[in-house]
């Protein structure tokens, strides 16, 4: 989780620098009296907005739909409980049985193949919970109108 957050922050810092350095350098080259430096509030909004491309202004919704936010967080919670259920019912029994036996290649291969379907289900749950529900909930709370997360 920490590594993912650090990668996200580095990508956001890169985008911020890439968008603002050319503007500042061109205003210095033109010897302009005002240097277009973004405000701190714009940078903080960018840090929490579900986007990796920095802009000074983003399209905004006029109001927050709190029922929508609650629904998305409930879906995240439901996805976590469902992933826990998949682990407890389908993955843990496979590995618990294999840990009590002596090591053999056939048992390892069977254990791995029996865990492929639950692993794919958990991958879809993570995609749905984070990339759809979590990002949409935060986008709604920030009134972020551009919801093209998948493009």
pLDDT for 91-112, tens place per residue?
A: 888 777 666 777 788 877 888 8
Break the chain into its structural domains and give their ranges.
1-58, 59-150
Residue 104 has what pLDDT? Answer: 81
Quick: pLDDT tens for 53-93.
898 888 888 999 999 999 999 999 999 999 999 989 988 88
pTM score, two decimals? 0.74
pLDDT tier at 37, thresholds 50, 70, 90: confident
Between CA 68 and CA 146 the distance in angstroms is 16
């Amino acid at each position: 989780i920490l590594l993912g957050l650090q990668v996200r922050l580095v990508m956001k810092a890169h985008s911020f620098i890439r968008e603002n350095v050319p503007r500042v350098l061109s205003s210095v080259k033109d010897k302009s009296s005002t240097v277009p430096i973004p405000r701190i509030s714009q940078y903080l909004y960018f840090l929490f907005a579900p986007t990796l491309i920095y802009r000074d202004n983003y399209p905004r919704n006029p109001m927050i739909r709190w029922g929508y936010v609650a629904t998305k967080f409930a879906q995240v919670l439901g996805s976590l409980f469902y992933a826990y259920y998949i682990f407890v019912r389908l993955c843990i029994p496979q590995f618990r049985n294999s840990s009590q036996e002596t090591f053999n290649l056939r048992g390892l291969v069977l254990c791995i193949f029996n865990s492929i379907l639950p692993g794919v289900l958990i991958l879809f749950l993570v995609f749905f919970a984070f990339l759809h529900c979590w990002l949409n909930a935060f986008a709604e709370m920030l009134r972020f109108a551009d919801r093209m997360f998948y493009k």
